[in-house]
Structures are given as C-alpha cells and as structure tokens.
A = this chain, B = another copy of it.
C-alpha cells in the first residue's frame, strides 16, 4: 500500500517547516515530477524533464531540492559509479539494493533479508553504529548474455 503523493507533499512541507524553510511552487513541481519517475534519475535528467514543464526552472534549484528531499527521507541517493548520483523515491518504498547490468544498464531491485541481517552482524562485531549501507551487484543480464 503505497502512500499517495499528497503524503510526500505533507511530509516535505513538515520537514521544511521544521527548518524554517518554505514550500514553493518550484519545490512542489520538483517533488511531484520526481515522484512520478519510474527510473532512478540523475539531477541532470530530472532537470531536462522539468525544463519542459517550467522552462524558467533553474539548474541549481533542482540540485538543491534533490538534496533537501534526501534529507527529508523522501529521496535516496544511489551511486553506481557512473560519475553522477542517481535519486529514487524512498518514502513509500521498502529498502532494497540493486543488481545492475554492466552492458545495458538494466536495473533489478532486490531485497535479501539474510544479507541485511549479516551486514548488521558485521557492523556490530566491530562496535560500529550502522548509519547506512550500499550494496550494488554488477553483472551481465540474460538478454546481454545472448548478444556475443
């Protein structure tokens, strides 16, 4: 049962209010457009999409807002070693990791509770306090395996 877009909006508004920041039309548009995306987008890709909806939108505002959305827990940053960060909606989704095809970029999301538990075991073993983790598996997808 995914949360409605109204929820991300109110979560963001609340987050902003707590920091004496303001909900603006740009932030609303960026939030709404970001949440619609099916794929993990870069700031640049989202900017290109937004430009069509509001040609006056600024480069920096997209970067700034994605950062805010991450802080608010609405977005998650992903790093697949491409040189730029990707973002995905994170609020109404359960945690998952990624399996990426190195040939075509196809992206599978998976969740392995056993791996999750073992990670916690490692962190505990060394006396650390877990903050975050990043697990990316890189491989060749079935389709790309055929293409020799």
Contacts and interface: CB of A to CB of B under 8 A. Distances in A.
B135 A139 contact: no
A102 to B, nearest CB: 5
Most buried by B among A108, A118, A128, A139: A128
Contacts of A45: none
A134 interface: yes
- Quickly give the copy total for this chain: 2
A129 interface: yes
A116 to B, nearest CB: 10
Nearest to A79: B81
Interface string A92-136: 000000010110000010101011001101110111111111111
A118 B119 contact: no
Given A79-B79, A81-B79, A123 B137 contact: yes
21 contacts: A99-B122, A99-B128, A101-B128, A102-B132, A108-B126, A110-B126, A112-B121, A112-B122, A114-B118, A115-B115, A118-B118, A127-B141, A127-B142, A128-B140, A131-B138, A131-B139, A131-B140, A133-B136, A134-B134, A134-B138, A135-B135
